[in-house]
Amino acid sequence: MGQRLRISRRDFVRAGAAVAAATTFPLPAFAQSSPRVVVIGGGFGGASCARSLKQIEPKLQVMLVEQSKTFIACPFSNNVIAGLRAIEKQQFGYDKVATAGVTVATQAATAVDATKRTVGLADGTSLAYDRLVLSPGVDLRFDALQGYDEAAAQKMPHAWKAGEQTLLLQRQLEAMDDGGLVVIAAPANPYRCPPGPYERASLIAYYLKTRKPRSKLLILDAKDAFSKQRLFQNAWKELYPGMVEWVSLSQGGKVNAVDAATNTLITDFGNHTAQVANVIPPQRAGRIAEIAGAADKTGWCAIDPVTFESKGAPNVHVIGDACIAGGMPKSAFSANAQAKACAQAVVTLLSGGSPASPKLINTCYSLAAPDYGISVAGVYAPKNGLLADVEGAGGVSPLDVPRDFRAREAEYAQSWFATITAEVFG
Ligand SMILES: Cc1cc2nc3c(=O)[nH]c(=O)nc-3n(C[C@H](O)[C@H](O)[C@H](O)COP(=O)(O)OP(=O)(O)OC[C@H]3O[C@@H](n4cnc5c(N)ncnc54)[C@H](O)[C@@H]3O)c2cc1C
């Protein structure tokens, strides 16, 4: 395993160099003096892309359309739920994005006309574009789980978009008596942040162990395997013996329906009534992707893996959670990497060139406890129309290492969050 990690680091350096090379192309000569690019969604993908576009080609007119004044980041929001972090540390504004030369419109985009190349905003105004980038993140599918709608989410929070829902789940845990049952319902793939439900289970278990040690945590899962599974399961045995139980799909873990009135989760194998129920429902690309004609029948957006251009809507590019990125997981790290590659491709296309094939990197850190970090890393490149795993690159944290190794990975996770949020919003 140690050797596998050494190989991965070499490959990362190589891949990193490839990305760096991709950003050193000669500046384009535009036919038109300053083409307009509109970016919808000011999260990890969209805000990164808007800034990169301006950085690569300052002559571009770049407009970022984001519905909220303040972005609330999901990474580290599990710490907020476990009472380990203030929500304020998750909040970011757009002042620095504007200082970087991007025009920020605090508006919801409500319409896209891919033929006329216009975006309609909630205030009735319309923006013309030469190329459009969508990074709207996910919408929760309130039609996918019987009994789980927006009203039910006020009782059984998903907390899969950070903000009020995060705080609701935190307050419910705080109000729960010692000896209560917490249930997390985890969805089938694909969904935002594959290791997220298991990091959440770990940090809630940490909270229970330290504050309500007679309580139990049950994970009802719609799948038979999950990201960093052995690492998580070993950590649960070591840190929270007897407290965390994972029920896989084949053991009857899939939640088919919920009853919010009684906090009950219903599976084929029986019902579970929870004191605190965290229901993470299936998801799809943010609604504007469907409006733009970029989402397919899966609810996600098929793209060209070199340019991120939508297969359904010409001149529209989709990045981040909303796109079908093959082997690349739906993470903030991925969204940021895709944003930079997409920005380069958009500038090249606007100047009449052919974008180079990118190499992209993702690393997902998770915390099994505040001082216990684990990670999975990968390198991805276009292959057969998708972003495929580069074989032999990447890997997961080693299984048998002393605790100080885990403590260092927990510190890397903190540094990663500080670095990416400074790059995107700072
Ligand atoms: C609990 C949890 C933990 C996580 N931990 C990690 C982690 O440790 N590491 C990691 O890499 N990733 C993590 N993630 C995943 C990460 O949050 C997402 O993958 C990432 O935010 C995706 O970026 P995005 O740009 O696609 O979407 P987002 O960051 O969600 O941004 C989308 C933006 O678009 C805006 N928007 C949507 N529609 C419109 C519209 N019509 N008009 C205007 N604005 C619009 C939204 O307001 C939002 O600001 C975690 C996720 C969760 C839920």
- The best mutation among 52, 67, 316 to test binding of ligand 1, ranked by most ligand atoms within 8 Å of the C-beta, falls on 67
Structure tokens at 264: 């009950």
Q: How is residue 399 written in tokens?
A: 């299984």
Residue 228 is classified by DSSP as T
Strand partners, 395: 377
Q: How far is the CA of 239 from the centre of ligand 1 (A)?
A: 30
How far is the centre of ligand 1, averaged over its atoms, from the C-alpha of 43 (Å)?
Answer: 6
Residue-wise pLDDT tens digits, 369-414:
999 999 999 999 999 999 999 999 999 999 999 999 999 999 999 9
Contact between residue 212 and residue 178 where contact means Cβ atoms under 8 Å apart: yes
Rounded to the nearest whole angstrom, what is the distance from the C-alpha of residue 178 to the centroid of ligand 1? 33
Please identify, by atom number, the ligand 1 atom nearest to the C-alpha of residue 110: 41
Per-residue pLDDT reduced to its tens digit, 287-321: 999 999 999 999 999 999 999 999 999 999 999 99
To test the pocket of ligand 1, the residue of 51, 97, 321 to mutate (highest count of ligand atoms within 8 Å of its CB) is: 321
Mean pLDDT for all residues in the chain: 93
Instruction: Please indicate whether residue 157, judged by its CB atom, sits closer than 6 Å to ligand 1.
Output: no
Is-contact 132 38, C-beta < 8 A?
Answer: yes
10 Å Cβ neighbour count for 359?
Answer: 24
Atom 20 (ligand 1) nearest CA? 332
93-146 per-position pLDDT tens digit: 999 999 999 999 999 999 999 999 999 999 999 999 999 999 999 999 999 999
Tokens for 405, please give them.
Answer: 């190794």
Of 71, 135, 415, the residue with max ligand 1 atoms within 8 A of its CB, to mutate for a pocket test, comes to: 135
E strand map for 36-89:
36-40, 61-66, 71-72
Q: Is residue 190 in contact with ligand 1, taking CB distance under 6 Å?
A: no
pTM above 0.85, yes or no: yes
Report the atom number in ligand 1 closest to the C-alpha of 330: 19
| For the chain, counts of helices (H) and of strands (E) | 11, 23
Residue type, 314: P
Q: Please give the structure tokens belonging to residue 224.
A: 């038979």
Rounded-to-integer distance, Cα 317 and Cα 345, Å = 10
Tell me the C-alpha distance between 262 and 274, whole Å. 8
Q: Which residues of 399-418 are buried (b: 16+ CB within 10 A; e: fewer)?
A: eeeeeeebeebbeebeebbe
324 alpha carbon – ligand 1 mean position (Å): 15
The residue behind tokens 């903000």 is 163
Rounded to 5 degrees, what angle do the CA atoms 362, 95, 88 make? Answer: 70
| 90 alpha carbon – ligand 1 mean position (Å) | 12
**Element containing residue 317 per DSSP (H, E):** strand 316-318
Q: What is the DSSP letter of 188?
A: P
Which residue has 């205030």 as its token pair? 123
End-to-end CA distance of the chain, in Å? 36
pLDDT band, residue 33 (cuts 50/70/90): confident
**CB distance 44 to ligand 1 below 6 Å:** yes
Residue 425, ligand 1, Cβ within 6 A: no
- Residue 18 in contact with ligand 1 by CB distance below 6 A: no
